[in-house]
Structure 1
Amino acid sequence: GIANLPAIVRGVVGAIRDAGYDPFVFPAMGSHGGATGEGQQEMLESLGVTEAAIGCEIRSSMEVVRVGETEDRGVPVYADANAAAADAIVPVNRVKPHTDYDGPVESGLSKMLVIGMGKQRGAKTAHEWAIDWSFRNMIPEITGKLLDELPVAGGVAIVEDQFDDTTLIEGVPPSGFLDREAELLERAYDLLPTVPFDDVDVLVLDRQGKDVSGQGMDTNVIGRRPFAINEPAPDLPDIKRIFVRGLTETTHGNAMGMGSADFVHRDLAAELDSSTSLINAITASTTRGVRLPPVVETDRAGLVASLSTVGVVDPDTVRV
């Protein structure tokens, strides 16, 4: 999740109210929360974003309107119906490297408008077109269409440091929207935490979840991108085996990305919500991300299985 999110949203709500508007918040989550309005509001609440905490109404619905289509390929562009009916729209999101592709803008305000505000229908449409077109081309073009057709008054960009704490909050005006987001992405890359080794035999992760990364585990950190759409994986680090012990509480059973692991603990298998995970996979046009790896009963079994399948290693120098 985003650090200090309730306080940041409350501050944005207050500023919008001071400007003379009657603000409300809508979740821009694509298909998350089981692709239901109730599920998405529950996800907001689990992040501390409640009506009491932020001081305004939350309107959560999966209803969308078609706002147009892109000029180049005629891709339909969708937006949350509540947002489209508003006098002004202000997306709030963290700017960071994306787990599925590299481009001038990745995970941030633009993706929030295209994928998040598009809800399940918009997210599914975008992922389908990305198979042939790629996100790096599609996200900026659809963002431009949304900026032209909807009253996007600007965005609030957040950059976090390597300790997942807020290091920058900046208002981004609609003019130069994409250019400024690209500059903030460079800052986020500079702060991206990494595994301090190029070669690792076994990586053990306590938890994975959608609050950690859209793919459960940050592919930029683990060096694996096995289910990205026509995108190469990072060159480093080279990790031979990954063992995941469980899911985060706030992922609500969504195990998207577990397909990056080589082994998982039985706790993860017990915690996963197959329906929620499947909806996410279908929306993202990938099934490999939710393929269940071999399940082990104990932590010891996970380590033994991992070390037994990396080839010949010296116990004195093995990297775990």
Structure 2
Amino acid sequence: MLTGEKEFPIYHIKVHHKSSAIADIPLALKKELDQLKFSKRFRNLKPGASIAITAGSRGISNYTLILKTIVKTLKEWGYEPFLFSAMGSHGGGTAEGQQEILQSLNINPETVGCPVYCSSEVKILEEIEWLGQKIPVYCAAEAINADGVLVVNRIKPHTSFHGNYESGLLKMMTVGMGRAKGADRFHSLGATHLADAIPLIAGQVLERAPIVGGIGIVENEHEKTAIIKGIPFEQIVYEEKSLLLEAKRLMPKLPLEHADLCIVGEMGKNFSGTGMDTNIIGRLRIQGIPEPTTPYFTYLGVLRLSEPSHGNATGIGLADFTTQKLVQEIDSKATYLNCLTSGFVIRSAVPMTFNTDKELVQGALQALKYDGSGGIRLLFIKNTLYINELWVSKAIYDELKDKEEIELVEKLPTIPFDADGNWI
């Protein structure tokens, strides 16, 4: 029990990062679109041309506003824009599942001002030979049938591999627009080949689909929109590489490198494709791929599954401990499909499960052989997307307290559990 000699104080702190964000999203976006309008493929479009805009499953900051502004601007230019689902196997790969995800992100015809199409239909653009095998290049049928395609996505480090192209416009073309079949074929190549496969497959999509350009989005440490870049078709490959470097520079990082126990309050697809961002928790759990050296947490616990995940608990296997409340929310079908598609099946494995948050912490302290003598390094974060607010034990606080960016909000006598054993 966390009573008597085993109680220890918890410090509620905030981390203040100095970073800039775009103040007027529509204005900045319109400036980029105005430049994009005069690019070669946009100039070739005739009045009334249909333009397909990618709609993904990620919780991008200002996502609805960005899509709405794009749609409004394209309409003003005389085009007929529409959104189409481009999210790989997410949503179970079905039209209904995709629509549910987009609705949870507040993306629908009423909010964006144009039709939103969801389906699993794809066409094969080409078949390429690589690694001694033939690889079909899939693309959403709505994109192929449109007069033009505008690819919109956030550019950021990936949670399963690293290279010149990770999460971004090229991956949206490779996996998102490839839908369930494309995602499955991509991941079948194996984790060690994914970084090289993205430009290879996306190159075929760029060449054979009516891509007119892209809108690249980069977010800062606070997950606010920091960069919006309109990129002509012929510059996407070059520009995305530069934007990824900027995204890595701006990506949020915890102010510490190791802890005995890290508790994540909530995991989910709206926070990361892996439920918990592997760059934040320092875990991959991909067979054949070395684990990151930092950050390093001896044990990792996760307490809840977010509602926007719709039961998809991909990434639960990254944790060592979880709660019965989270396990009861798991949709095994959606979770297994996601992990079978990626091939990273251990990420769906349910870890040691406890009835309450308090019992989870007690179990972790038992595994750590904590005897109440002090020095325990404990960290609590709400999720892996918003990490500017932390709850830490004294050992960690003493390490961080003199840093300029650290603010002490409150010192608590012990871990704040309610009467039901839930972390408050």
What is the one-letter code of the residue matched to 1:89? V
CA distance in 2, matches of 1:313, 1:28: 51
- The question of 1:166 aligning with 2:225 is answered yes
Could you give the per-residue CA deviations for residues 296-318 of structure 1, whole angstroms, max 9, x where no partner exists?
Answer: 01111111111221356764221
- The question of 1:82 aligning with 2:145 is answered no
Q: Report the more deviating stretch, 152-161 or 15-24.
A: 15-24
Shift of 1:71: 4.9
CA distance in 1, matches of 2:371, 2:223: 34
Residues 221-240 of structure 1: pairs in structure 2 closer than 5 A:
221-227=280-286, 230-240=288-298
The change in CA–CA distance for 1:315 and 1:32 in structure 2 (over 3 A counts) is farther
Match of 1:256 among 286, 290, 314: 314
- The question of 1:44 aligning with 2:102 is answered yes
Residues 279-294 of structure 1: pairs in structure 2 closer than 5 A:
279-294=337-352
Could you give the per-residue CA deviations for residues 236-270 of structure 1, whole angstroms, max 9, x where no partner exists?
Answer: 01101111001111111100000000000111101
Which of structure 1's runs of 4+ aligned residues deviate more than 3 A?
71-74, 311-315
Contact 1:100 1:231 in 2 (8 A): no
CA distance in 1, matches of 2:153, 2:147: 20
Give the secondary structure class of the aligned counterpart of 1:175. helix
CA distance in 2, matches of 1:12, 1:105: 24
Shift of 1:15: 2.3
CA distance in 2, matches of 1:199, 1:75: 41
CA distance in 2, matches of 1:239, 1:319: 9
CA distance in 1, matches of 2:369, 2:243: 42
CA distance in 2, matches of 1:20, 1:117: 25
Give the secondary structure class of the aligned counterpart of 1:304. helix
Residues 75-154 of structure 1: pairs in structure 2 closer than 5 A:
75-131=135-191, 134-154=193-213
- The question of 1:56 aligning with 2:114 is answered yes
Higher normalized contact order (CA 8 Å, seq sep 6+, divided by chain length): 2
Give the secondary structure class of the aligned counterpart of 2:253. coil
Contact 1:195 1:222 in 2 (8 A): no
Give the secondary structure class of the aligned counterpart of 1:246. strand
Q: CA RMSD in A?
A: 1.4
Q: Which residue of 1 aligns with 2:255?
A: 196
Could you give the per-residue CA deviations for residues 90-113 of structure 1, whole angstroms, max 9, x where no partner exists?
Answer: 111111100000100100111111
The change in CA–CA distance for 1:310 and 1:60 in structure 2 (over 3 A counts) is same
TM-score by length of 1: 0.96
Match of 2:328 among 247, 258, 270: 270
Contact 1:80 1:117 in 2 (8 A): yes
Match of 1:210 among 250, 255, 269: 269
Contact 2:302 2:323 in 1 (8 A): yes
CA distance in 1, matches of 2:150, 2:128: 22
Shift of 1:129: 1.4
Unaligned runs of 5+ in 2: 1-58, 379-424
Unaligned runs of 5+ in 1: none
The change in CA–CA distance for 1:111 and 1:71 in structure 2 (over 3 A counts) is same
What is the one-letter code of the residue matched to 1:121? K
Contact 1:69 1:145 in 2 (8 A): no
Contact 1:244 1:261 in 2 (8 A): yes
What is the one-letter code of the residue matched to 1:75? I
CA distance in 1, matches of 2:272, 2:128: 28
Shift of 1:20: 2.7
The change in CA–CA distance for 1:315 and 1:225 in structure 2 (over 3 A counts) is farther
Q: Report the more deviating stretch, 230-239 or 81-90.
A: 230-239
